[in-house]
Amino acid sequence: MIEAIIIGLIVTVFGSVLLYAFRVRQLYVVIPRLFSVSALTSEGKIIEVRVFNKGRATEEDVLVALSPDRDYEVLASTDSSSALDGSFIRIPRIPPGDDYSVLMLVEGGDFTKDEISTVSSKITKGKFIEGIENVPQNTGSIVLFIAFFLSVLATPVVGFEMYDKWKEGISEREHTERMSSLEFLSDIGWNSLDRYGYVGICCWSALIAARSHASSAGLVVSNNRRHAK
């Protein structure tokens, strides 16, 4: 009973964690490249801004807020529907597992991570990550991998436990069948047969049978002698 409650609690908690992992929003912004030298300008810099959607739901109305103290110009982007609105980069949608990249010319001062104020969508707020290599993987995939890994580790343990229970059940059934075959001993006064063990009972049964056979043989010999006289 207690084991069933514990297993049910574990399944409930793990199911809740798995559901959360699949529904969690993962919106990140990264500055992977900063070009200090460019033929396009002698005073400005060219930067790349990438926005990652690592969640399992589409992020809509994504907005990257930049410092208003700089001048920006879009040189290239991976989404033609995106737009630069003053110091804001507006992206209509980013599908799950996808990312958006834009190259911009920045003038009016240096550009660092502090020049990115916020990144957000219609549903959630994102965060800045230093370096593409530090962008987290999808949480749901990680949880699924951990669950699969734990299930692989638990399979032999559960298998051995089930095998032991199956073997124990067979042993109990065989013991019951053996003891049932010796119930006739109760008719001659044997009680509590289990305490003797099956082998002991068989030995005693053989001894009783031998004595009975010997007694029968003795009676036959005695009767034959009487008839001979």
Task: Count CA within 13 A, CB hemisphere, residue 108.
Answer: 11
pLDDT at 119 over 70: yes
Structure pTM? 0.58
**What pLDDT was estimated at residue 35?**
81
Could you tell me where the beta strands, DSSP code E, fall in 36-177? 45-53, 59-66, 71-77, 83-85, 88-94, 99-107, 116-120, 127-128
Q: What is the pLDDT of residues 7-17, one digit of tens each?
A: 677 667 666 66
Domain ranges (residues) in the chain: 25-136, 182-228
**What pLDDT was estimated at residue 220?**
43
Instruction: Reduce the DSSP state of residue 140 to 3 states and report it.
Output: helix
pLDDT at 193 over 80: no
**What is the domain class of 25-136 according to CATH?**
mainly beta
Q: What is the pLDDT of residues 130-171, one digit of tens each?
A: 889 999 887 666 666 666 666 666 666 656 667 677 677 776
